[in-house]
Amino acid sequence: MAFVMLELRSLSKSFGGLLATADVSLAVPEGRIVSLIGPNGAGKTTLFAIASGFLTPDSGSIHFLGQDVTGLPPHEICRLGLVRTFQVVKPFAEQSVRENILVGAHLRRAGHRDAAEKADEVAELVGMTGRMDDLAGSLTIAGRKRLELAKALATEPKLLLLDEVMAGLNPTEIEEIIPVIHRLRDSGLTIMLIEHVMQAVMKLSEYTWVLNQGRLIAEGSPQQIARDPAVIEAYLGHGLAARIEAENRANA
Ligand SMILES: Nc1ncnc2c1ncn2[C@@H]1O[C@H](COP(=O)(O)OP(=O)(O)OP(=O)(O)O)[C@@H](O)[C@H]1O
């Protein structure tokens, strides 16, 4: 059994009358790439926000590296080694790529030279070495996504929560970022991703949890998940999964 890096226990969170997270429990093993999928509004980002301290759950607890971190603020959770990226990336547009990455690097490295070394190192990892002096505001969406990744990596995490790093990228850009994420895992990081790009989920993740209306409805390898009637139903709409299954049976 792999060491459990992050454990979410019976988490629930409501916004007014809406149950965005409904009794969710899951355990992320060390050294893997795992993923969280589900239709729009399923509660994926809310779960990331709870795990990383941006939201406090109404009930349940979060355990990172065996420590109960429920209620800790994001910067303290980040210092322990858990960092998230944001779906909507907002770099400091008037600052350079280097300055943006340095914001992350300064979490652990007070000295400028030390932080700058880290910034160079992560820029190389995400393929931004040649863009360090560009203004963040001048980057394409793909460039901003890489910068978001670099800022998170500069905090030297053990667990990285990636919220839709592929959204808005074209197929070539997606193909280019997949090996970057594999390299990060190979360097020892544990990665959990939220992703709508199923091609990327299939290629990258070893284990997947599926959320629908705040609840976990399935888990397993991406291949298992893709065949799960409850998952197909959640994505395609009420009744459709049963119809597809009936059609398959009729055609068999
Ligand atoms: N701060 C908030 N206040 C009120 N409602 C919220 C808030 N954040 C999220 N919600 C609602 O909670 C539900 C879950 O939202 P969430 O963003 O977690 O879903 P998601 O699975 O990440 O969706 P998407 O794939 O579209 O990003 C949605 O119905 C959303 O409108």
Measured in angstroms, how far is the CA atom of residue 15 from the centroid of ligand 1?
Answer: 9
Whole-angstrom distance, CA of residue 200 vs CA of residue 173: 11
Which ipTM was obtained for this model? 0.96
Q: Is 36 in the pocket of ligand 1 (CB under 6 A)?
A: no
Query: Residue 143, class by beta-carbon neighbours within 10 Å (0-12 exposed, 13-18 middle, 19+ buried)?
Result: buried
> From atom 8 of ligand 1, which residue's Cα is the shortest distance away?
46
pTM, 2 dp: 0.89
**Structural contact between residues 77 and 52, judged by C-beta atoms closer than 8 angstroms:** yes
Q: Which residue has the tokens 């607890």?
A: 61
Pocket test for ligand 1, best of 14, 15, 54 (most atoms within 8 A of CB): 15
Max CA separation in the chain (angstroms):
69
> From atom 17 of ligand 1, which residue's Cα is the shortest distance away?
45
Whole-angstrom distance, CA of residue 29 vs CA of residue 241: 31
Q: Name residues whose C-beta falls within 8 Å of residue 208's C-beta, 6 or more positions apart in sequence.
A: 34, 35, 36, 37, 201, 219, 220, 221, 222, 225
pLDDT of residue 92: 79
Whole-angstrom distance, CA of residue 150 vs CA of residue 132: 11
Q: What is the pLDDT along the chain (252 residues), one digit of tens a residue?
A: 689 999 999 999 999 999 999 999 999 999 999 999 999 899 999 999 999 999 999 999 999 999 999 999 999 999 999 999 987 777 778 899 999 999 999 988 989 999 999 999 999 999 999 999 999 999 998 899 999 999 999 999 999 999 998 888 888 988 888 999 999 999 999 999 998 888 888 889 999 999 999 999 999 999 899 888 888 888 777 566 666 667 667 767
Q: Is 38 in the pocket of ligand 1 (CB under 6 A)?
A: yes
Whole-angstrom distance, CA of residue 206 vs CA of residue 6: 16
**Which pair of tokens denotes residue 220?**
């397993």
Q: Is 232 in the pocket of ligand 1 (CB under 6 A)?
A: no
pLDDT of residue 43: 96
